[in-house]
Amino acid sequence: MKERKIDILLHPVRLRIIQKFLGGDERTAKELAQLLPDIAQATLYRQLDTLLKANILIITEEKPIRGTIEKVYALNPMEASITTKDINGISKEEHIQYFMLFTTQLLAQFESYLEKDEIDLERDGVAYRQTAFYLSDEEFHDLVIEIVRIFQKAAKNKPNPDRKKRYISTIIIPEAD
């Protein structure tokens, strides 16, 4: 049975690998192993292969290194997101499971940030808050399009010494009637 895209993306180990490519980063398996030292090398290669076969990661370069080929991987942004098509037909229990996986990963990222020697929430722009809006369906649609436009503009920024990689995660939940 073919694994569903949502299962591939939200697998705990694969999700951690995918996050190392956010912001347009390109990495080799060796670099990933250094960034994710708690993941066994065999597991890392197996999960990279799964992400490649699903077209979530692509190979951008192949470098000959001492008689072997070192592959450079990048995220395929068109395949690395969950669409309405991907979630059609999943059960309530599966939605809860996927949401729990997503929020658990957010918690792990936040915990990792808090483990730094020196944290400054204000300087680093750390925030978590919830806001409610009253919007018609059309107003909501327009808001989402505007948010996507802003995110796409920011995603074009290339790394440099003045920039920090920042993660912005969105969760949109309508109030239960």
**Residue 61: its H or E element:** strand 57-65
The domain defined by 5-75 folds into: Arc Repressor Mutant, subunit A (1.10.10)
Residues 6+ apart with CB under 8 A from 33: 39, 41, 44
Residues 6+ apart with CB under 8 A from 108: none
Residue 36 binned pLDDT confidence (cut-offs 50, 70, 90):
very high
Which of 36-45, 74-83, 105-114, 122-131 has the highest average model confidence (pLDDT)? 36-45
Alpha carbons 156 and 86: distance in angstroms, whole number: 26
pLDDT digits (tens, 9 = 90+) for 91-148: 999 889 888 988 988 898 899 889 989 999 999 989 988 999 999 999 999 999 999 9
Residue 164 binned pLDDT confidence (cut-offs 50, 70, 90):
confident
Alpha carbon dihedral 41, 43, 45, 47, in 10-degree steps, equals -150
Domain ranges for the chain, please list them. Answer: 5-75
> Considering only CA atoms, which of 37, 43, 38 is closest in space to residue 11?
43
